[in-house]
Each structure stands twice: as C-alpha cells, then as structure tokens.
Homo-oligomer: A and B are copies of this chain.
Amino acid sequence: MFTSETTVRVRYAETDQMGYVYYGNYATYYEVARIETLRDLGYSYKKMEENGVMLPVLENKSKYIKPGKYDDLLTIKVTIPKMPDVRIIFKYEVFNEAGDLINIGETTLVFVNTKTGKPCKMPDVLHDILIAYYQ
C-alpha cells in the first residue's frame, strides 16, 4: 500500500473570521498532497493531462477534528488504499505542528479521456509504478 507525506503552510488567505482554516480549503490541501504524492513516485499529473488523461473528482469527504490555524505547517499523510483501476482513491490525515490529527479526508477520482470525456483506464506508466505496492 502506498503512503507519502507532504507539508503545507497555512496562508492568511485560507483563514476565515473564526480564525480557522476555512473548511473548503482542505480540498485544496488534499489536491496539493495528491499531486506531490504522485511526484514522489516520479509521476507528473501535469504531463498526464497534457497526454490526454485528466482526473476529475467523483466524491470527497472530510471530518474536521481540530481547527487549522494561520501559519501552521501542516503535515498531510496520503494513502492510496488499494490498487487503482478506472478510479483512484486517496485518503488523507492532516496533522498540525503539535502532532495533533486535525482533519481526515477521502477523495475518489476517475481517469477520463480528455477528448472523449469518457472514463478510461489508468495510464500504463502509472499502473507500472503503483503495481509494485499492491502485490
């Protein structure tokens, strides 16, 4: 099973007047964590899209355990819980600098052919990188 870690520094723009990270901004943190996870594997989402496969979101879930605060350096642990096929699932655990788990999330995305707009198989290169972790 593949796991990875990314850090994100909370920006002023991402806080709200409650003094917390606005709840919708975790989706962006998850995006950063997914993309950096793929980059750690030597895989570029940007190039995948240039090659005609995009990855829109089908489903997203978040639980907010503690507030994220301005300037916190958050650590996001990302897991791909099973070998992807047409869909890929990412799970996230977000920790603050004190080591507290502040947020958990899960996103399901689908590989889509940019030209046809139809779901398609995961690109072979990504398949070949990931298969080693699920045997």
If A12-B22, A13-B31 touch, whether A71 touches B44 (CB-CB below 8 Å) is: yes
CB-CB < 8 A to A71: which residues of B?
A: 35, 44-46
Inter-subunit contact B45/A31 (CB<8 Å): no
Whether a CB of chain B sits under 8 angstroms from the CB of A1 is no
Complex Cα–Cα for A32 and B9 (A): 9
Copies of this chain, complex-wide, total 4
Q: Which of A17, A26, A67 has the most CB of B within 10 A?
A: A17
Whole-angstrom distance from the CB of A62 to the nearest CB of chain B?
5
Task: Sort A-B residue pairs by CB-CB distance and give the 8 closest, nearest first.
Answer: A24-B27, A15-B17, A46-B71, A23-B57, A13-B28, A17-B19, A61-B61, A60-B62
| Residues of A that sit less than 8 Å from B by CB | 9, 11-13, 15-20, 22-28, 31-32, 35, 44-46, 49, 54, 56-64, 67, 70-71
Known: A13-B27, A17-B70. 13 other contacts (CB 8 A): A11-B31, A12-B16, A12-B17, A13-B22, A13-B31, A17-B18, A18-B54, A18-B56, A44-B71, A46-B70, A56-B64, A60-B61, A60-B64
